Amino acid sequence: MKSFVFFMSITLALPAFAVEVAPRISDREIIESLAELKAGQKALEAKMDLRFTAMQEQMDRRFEAVDRRLDFVQQLMLVTIAGIFGLIGFIIWDRYSTLRPMDMRLRRLEENLEHDLELQSPEGSKLTRMIHALRELAKEDKRVAAVLRSFSLL
Count of residues making up the chain: 154
Q: Is residue 11 part of a domain?
A: no
Question: pLDDT (tens digit, 9 = 90+) per residue, 91-147?
Answer: 999 988 888 888 999 999 988 888 877 777 777 788 888 888 889 988 998 998 998
Of the candidates 114, 113, 111, the one whose C-alpha atom is nearest the C-alpha of residue 103 is 111
Q: Is the same domain home to 84 and 154?
A: no
Q: Is the same domain home to 98 and 124?
A: no
Distance CA 6, CA 11 (A): 9
Q: Is the same domain home to 81 and 39?
A: yes
pLDDT at 14 over 60: no
Q: Is the same domain home to 69 and 134?
A: no
Q: Is the same domain home to 98 and 122?
A: no
Helix (H, G, I), strand (E, B) or coil at 121: coil
Q: Is the same domain home to 102 and 30?
A: yes
The count of domains in the chain is 2
Query: How many other C-beta atoms can be found within 10 angstroms of the C-beta atom of residue 152?
Result: 6
pTM of the full structure: 0.42
Distance CA 132, CA 136 (A): 6
Minimum mean pLDDT range among 9-13, 36-40, 50-54, 148-152: 9-13
Straight-line distance from the first to the last Cα atom of the chain, in angstroms, rounded to the nearest whole number: 160
Question: pLDDT (tens digit, 9 = 90+) per residue, 17-75?
Answer: 555 666 788 888 889 899 999 999 999 999 999 999 999 999 999 999 999 999 999 99
Q: Is the same domain home to 65 and 96?
A: yes
Domain of 95?
Answer: 26-106
Q: Is residue 134 part of a domain?
A: yes
Q: Is the same domain home to 102 and 44?
A: yes
